[in-house]
Amino acid sequence: MNVPNLKASNFKSDITPIWCPGCGDFHVLMSITKALAKLRRPPEDIAVVSGIGCSSRIPAYTNCYGFHGVHGRSLAVAAGLKVARPDLTVMAMSGDGDGFSIGGNHFLHACRRNVDMTYIVMDNRVYGMTKGQPSPTTESDWDSALSPGGTGLRAFHPLVIALASGANFVAREFSGNIKACTQTIVEAVNHPGFSFVEILSPCVTFRPDEKEWKNQVHEASVAETDDPARAARRIMTDDGMNTGILYRGPRKPYSASVSDEVGDVSALEQFFEI
């Protein structure tokens, strides 16, 4: 059902976010509510699912149906919900720790499964809620109390992993570019199958260096592609700060779903009668 004239404010709740002043997630919330208004679906037809972390606080800040679950499992909750209720618009929200570390396995399989939903990861390359530990996307030499001198581990590349695992829509945006973020989220939701949007969202508290991101990001000079190999080559060889839609694929979404029919369970008894 399309509902005309919805505004971003129709999708905001009255709960005040607990984020630090200057956090990129404020902008992401703004982009999400603007995108939802553009999608012209009423808030009750939208479900926003998350795990644990700063970014995962988002559901309660929207006026949609929300599910704030345990650490790392937002994609599983979202997949179950979408299969059970194919009529809903389902979005999962995560951060780099929640989504790529504790929830890494679900990320791979969500891409493979290709359930029609949108996954937004606010990547700030740090665990913020626990006050500054390295995440899978943190640079290997980033110093912290937990891993002095850096982890020595190679940073995880979410977009390449998403492409290799079968995500049907892959994009990167910067939280400060609200207009571009909004448009990309709309495109991601409208594209069938599993859509993945990484949003670079600075943590000004534990990664003050990320305040520079606004000067470093730039729109990709190459147009999007439907060839995952080309998309992967491009994203592996650039500077990591380019934005825009990288890949839009033709895969059919996951097909199983629950219908509203009541179903005749008594017919199943024949199977056991001898």
Partner 1 sequence: MTASLKPANSISFAIVGTGGAGAITAGSMLIEAAGKAGYYGLLTRSVGPQIRGGEAAALVRLSTKPAACMSKEFDILVAIDWKNADRFIGAMPVAEGGLVICGPAAGDPPRAIRETDCTIIECPIGELAKSVPGGRENMISAGLVAELIRMPLEEIRNVVSGKLASKGEKAVEASHGCLEIGAQTAAGFDHTCRLAAPEEGSNKRWLITGNEAVGLGALRGGVRFAAAYPITPATEVLEYLSPALASVGGALVQAEDELASINMIIGASFGGRPSITATSGPGLSLMMESLGLAAASETPIVVVDVMRVGPSTGVATKSEQSDLNIAVYGFHGDAPHVVVAPLSVSDCLFTGQWAVHMAETLQTPVIVLSDQSIGQARVLIDRPADITFMTRRKPFDADGEAYQRYAITADGVSPMSTPGQAGGQYTADGLTHTERGSPSSARSDQKEQLDKRHDKIARFNFGNHWGITEGDSARATVILTWGSLTGAAREAIDALQDEDIPVRLVSLRQISPFPEEPLKAALAGAKRLLVVEQSYSAQFYRHVRSYIDLPFEVRQLNREGPYEIGPDEIVTKIREWNYR
CB 75 within 8 A of CB 110: yes
Q: Which of the ranges 155-163, 174-182, 221-229, 250-258 carries the binding residues for partner 1, by CB under 8 A?
A: 250-258
Does residue 70 touch partner 1 according to CB under 8 A?
yes
User: What character string, x for contact with partner 1 (CB under 8 A) and - otherwise, covers 111-150?
Assistant: --x-------------------------------------
Does residue 99 touch partner 1 according to CB under 8 A?
no
Which of 64, 123, 115 minimizes the C-alpha distance to 98?
123
Question: Which residues, at least 6 apart from 125, have a Cβ–Cβ distance to it below 8 Å?
Answer: 96, 134, 135, 137, 138, 139, 142, 155, 203, 207, 210
Q: Which of the ranges 46-54, 126-134, 144-152, 216-224 carries the binding residues for partner 1, by CB under 8 A?
A: 46-54
| CA angle in degrees (0–180, nearest 5) for 258-169-118 | 45
Least spacing, CB of residue 151 vs partner 1, in Å: 24
CB 31 within 8 A of CB 200: no
Least spacing, CB of residue 216 vs partner 1, in Å: 34
Least spacing, CB of residue 4 vs partner 1, in Å: 15
Alpha-carbon span 41 to 239, nearest angstrom: 37
Does residue 88 touch partner 1 according to CB under 8 A?
yes
- DSSP helix/strand/coil, 107: helix
Question: Which residues, at least 6 apart from 149, have a Cβ–Cβ distance to it below 8 Å?
Answer: 141, 143
Kindly tell me which residue out of 47, 129, 161, 246 binds partner 1, with binding defined by CB under 8 A: 47
272: left (phi over 0), alpha (psi -120 to 50) or beta: alpha
User: What character string, x for contact with partner 1 (CB under 8 A) and - otherwise, covers 155-194?
Assistant: ----------------------------------------
Kindly tell me which residue out of 105, 130, 190, 216 binds partner 1, with binding defined by CB under 8 A: 105
Length of the chain: 274
CB 154 within 8 A of CB 134: no
Q: Which of the ranges 62-70, 160-168, 176-184, 212-220 carries the binding residues for partner 1, by CB under 8 A?
A: 62-70
Does residue 109 touch partner 1 according to CB under 8 A?
yes
User: Torsions phi, psi of 234, nearest 5?
Assistant: -60, -45
Kindly tell me which residue out of 20, 26, 30, 68 binds partner 1, with binding defined by CB under 8 A: 68
Does residue 20 touch partner 1 according to CB under 8 A?
no
Does residue 238 touch partner 1 according to CB under 8 A?
no
| Residue carrying the six token digits 């949108």 | 118
Judged by beta carbon, residue 150 or residue 253, the one nearer partner 1 is 253
C-alpha distance from residue 224 to each of 183, 187, 191, 234 (Å): 14, 12, 14, 10
Interaction site with partner 1 (CB under 8 A)? 15, 42-45, 47-49, 57, 59-60, 63-70, 72-73, 75-85, 87-88, 105-106, 108-109, 113, 256-265, 267-269, 272-274
